[in-house]
């Protein structure tokens, strides 16, 4: 059976290719540009296929079947959060650009929350003879992603970064409004003349209203307090580096779960 192209990495590659494509497009005659653009749009729509699942057979697979479903759920959540992160600036419009950075950080926090819950599933995969065997049969990209996820488990080489950049956010600010965290960030910003003042954007609907002051507090709470980014550092560069670490782990998990679960279903639960 033909193998589907890893969609998680295809998304990343397509974003990079779009820049190069636009540069080439500018040098083409008008009719050639239109033809090439139509071809690019058709290609970017991608393709899907349906794999029917027999839930009775899946139930018969025992704990492995249950674990596969949990992997699927985690992959769905991570894919939704990652996609929303990439899309958050594209459709805002000029009246909502004041919300962009805050929304971006929200989806990073959301990814951190889902990653924290999803990573232990990788440990369970290792303990399953059936699923562990299948990890050796996935694509080269998926095996590399699986290895990076393993390094984030306890005792792994990337565990310290995972705890610092992912776990700390999930435990403190991802779905929490901790008095201690907010109080500490407020004190730090209030006592510095450069960060003493902030603002609130009042709109005529909930779609344009934003408490930017809360976004500023979050910068201090997460970027400074949890991630330890020094005051003199390039915030954008550090933001890209750390959020890139989080997003790459999301893509790794989506890719691994996509290939692993599909292979398992095809062998054990296809209808």
pLDDT of 172 over the 90 cut: no
User: Please, which pLDDT band fits residue 220 given cuts at 50, 70 and 90?
Assistant: confident
pLDDT of 21 over the 60 cut: no
Residue 167 maps to a domain: yes
- Residues 150 and 42 placed together within one structural domain of the fold: no
Residue 125 maps to a domain: yes
- Residues 65 and 184 placed together within one structural domain of the fold: yes
Q: What mean pLDDT, rounded, does the chain reach?
A: 80
- Residues 167 and 116 placed together within one structural domain of the fold: yes
In the predicted model, what is the mean pLDDT of residues 99-108?
81
In the predicted model, what is the mean pLDDT of residues 88-117?
80
Residue 271 maps to a domain: no
pLDDT of 28 over the 60 cut: no
Select the more confidently predicted residue: 135 or 36.
135
- Residues 35 and 65 placed together within one structural domain of the fold: no
As a whole number of angstroms, the distance between CA 112 and CA 160 comes to 15
As a whole number of angstroms, the distance between CA 269 and CA 47 comes to 23
- Residues 85 and 39 placed together within one structural domain of the fold: no
User: Please, which pLDDT band fits residue 25 given cuts at 50, 70 and 90?
Assistant: very low
pLDDT of residue 115: 96
- Residues 40 and 85 placed together within one structural domain of the fold: no
Domain count, the chain: 2
- Residues 30 and 82 placed together within one structural domain of the fold: no
pLDDT of 70 over the 90 cut: yes
**% of the chain beyond a pLDDT of 90:** 41
pLDDT of 205 over the 80 cut: yes
pLDDT of 12 over the 60 cut: no
pLDDT of 39 over the 80 cut: no
- Residues 74 and 28 placed together within one structural domain of the fold: no
pLDDT of 256 over the 80 cut: yes
pLDDT of residue 95: 59
pLDDT of 15 over the 80 cut: no
- Residues 88 and 208 placed together within one structural domain of the fold: yes
- Residues 40 and 71 placed together within one structural domain of the fold: no
pLDDT of residue 46: 63
User: Please, which pLDDT band fits residue 108 given cuts at 50, 70 and 90?
Assistant: confident
Residue 166 maps to a domain: yes
Domain that holds residue 13: 1-49
- Residues 144 and 159 placed together within one structural domain of the fold: yes
As a whole number of angstroms, the distance between CA 145 and CA 248 comes to 9
End position of a domain, from candidates 27, 49, 71 = 49
- Residues 42 and 165 placed together within one structural domain of the fold: no
């Amino acid at each position: 059976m033909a193998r589907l192209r890893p969609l998680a990495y295809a998304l990343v590659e397509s974003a990079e290719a779009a820049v190069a494509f636009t540069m080439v497009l500018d040098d083409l005659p008008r009719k050639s540009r239109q033809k090439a653009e139509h071809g690019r749009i058709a290609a970017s729509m991608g393709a899907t296929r349906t794999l029917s699942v027999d839930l009775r057979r899946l139930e018969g697979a025992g704990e492995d079947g249950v674990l596969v479903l949990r992997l699927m759920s985690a992959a769905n959540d991570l894919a939704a959060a990652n996609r929303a992160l990439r899309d958050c600036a594209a459709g805002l419009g000029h009246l909502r650009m004041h919300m962009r950075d805050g929304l971006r950080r929200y989806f990073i926090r959301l990814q951190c929350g889902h990653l924290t819950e999803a990573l232990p599933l990788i440990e369970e995969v290792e303990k399953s003879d059936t699923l562990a065997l299948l990890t050796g049969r996935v694509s080269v990209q998926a095996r590399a992603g699986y290895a990076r996820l393993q390094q984030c488990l306890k005792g792994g080489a990337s565990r310290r970064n995972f705890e610092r950049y992912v776990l700390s956010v999930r435990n403190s600010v991802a779905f929490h409004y901790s008095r201690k965290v907010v109080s500490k960030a407020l004190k730090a910003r209030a006592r510095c003349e450069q960060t003493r003042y902030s603002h609130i954007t009042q709109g005529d609907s909930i779609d344009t209203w934003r408490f930017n002051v809360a976004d500023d507090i979050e910068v201090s709470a997460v970027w400074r307090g949890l991630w330890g980014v020094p005051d003199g550092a390039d915030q954008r560069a550090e933001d890209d580096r750390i959020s890139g670490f989080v997003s790459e782990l999301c893509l790794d998990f989506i890719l691994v779960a996509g290939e692993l679960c599909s292979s398992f279903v095809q062998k054990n639960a296809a209808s």
